[in-house]
Amino acid sequence: MPCSRSMEWIRRAPLVLAPVLAGLSILPLASCKRAPTEGLAMNEASLNLPQSIGAWTQSGSPKFVGPQDIFNYMDGAGELYLGYRFKHLEVQRYGSSNQGEILVELYWMASSDDAYGLLSGDWGGEAVDLSLPLPGSSSRAATDGPRALYDAGLLRLWSGDLFARIMADHETNASQSAVQALGQAIARGRSTAPRPELIQALPARVGSQFFLRPTA
């Protein structure tokens, strides 16, 4: 999609206050500058993901996607990533002999607030504390550090300027453990970023029916 169309979509997108105050998102204007993807493999923000996790092993080298290629990579929703100042995407696939594939997508953003905005678009799923040992430990909402949500084989997490999606083809106990372990590996060692100031300024409750989710 041409950049001018993306800008028009962003200008016309309404701000919506959800019935439950899960967070407040602001879409900054996307940059029309086309950043080259050459050399991204040496980007200092890149993570060294584990070669294998459980029954899954990396399938080839990671793929790098820049802003100019986002619409070739995904069918729709590219405007959202551009609106939140998407810099580049790293894609790594993990294969197994008989348990399907695990897809890891690392979206590097211009700021921590941008990465938080991507997570705040959907608060569905169960909050997972990535600091807890896995597998076998219960999930609970994290008050500090990376925020992660898991549902039906998909883990989404925010950690500083990084938004990540980790998805298993088939949800099993083994794939859930592997997906969450990959989430831990991604977040490990990264500095803790505070929530956006606008979210921190919101009241915990509004009246008797609306409240700010503890995981927001």
| Lowest-pLDDT choice from 3-17, 47-61, 150-164, 188-202 | 3-17
15: pLDDT strictly greater than 60: no
Phi, then psi, of 89 in degrees rounded to 5: -120, 135
33: pLDDT strictly greater than 50: no
117: pLDDT strictly greater than 70: yes
Using the CB atoms, write b or e for 68-101: b if 16+ within 10 Å: ebbbeeeeeebbbbbbbbbbbbbebbbebeebbe
Closest CA to 62 of 73, 72, 49: 49
What's the mean per-residue pLDDT of the chain? 74
Give the residue-averaged pLDDT of 29-49: 47
17 or 28, which is more confident: 28
- Token pair of 35 as six digits: 């950043």
177: pLDDT strictly greater than 50: yes
Q: Which residues does 54 contact at the CB level (< 8 Å), separation at least 6?
A: 174, 177, 178, 181
Per-residue confidence (pLDDT) for residue 173, from 0 to 100: 94
153: pLDDT strictly greater than 90: yes
Length of the chain: 216
Strand-pairing partners, residue 157, are: 148, 164
Percentage of residues in the chain having pLDDT higher than 90: 35
169: pLDDT strictly greater than 50: yes
Per-residue confidence (pLDDT) for residue 175, from 0 to 100: 96
216 or 164, which is more confident: 164
Token pair 């883990």 in the structure block, residue: 155
Give the residue-averaged pLDDT of 128-157: 68
213 or 82, which is more confident: 82
Per-residue confidence (pLDDT) for residue 198, from 0 to 100: 67
Per-residue confidence (pLDDT) for residue 24, from 0 to 100: 38
Token pair 């290629």 in the structure block, residue: 69
Query: Residue 147 is inside which H or E element, if any?
Result: strand 147-151
Per-residue confidence (pLDDT) for residue 105, from 0 to 100: 95
pTM recorded for the entire structure:
0.68
Per-residue confidence (pLDDT) for residue 216, from 0 to 100: 57
Burial of 194 (0-12, 13-18, 19+ CB in 10 A): exposed
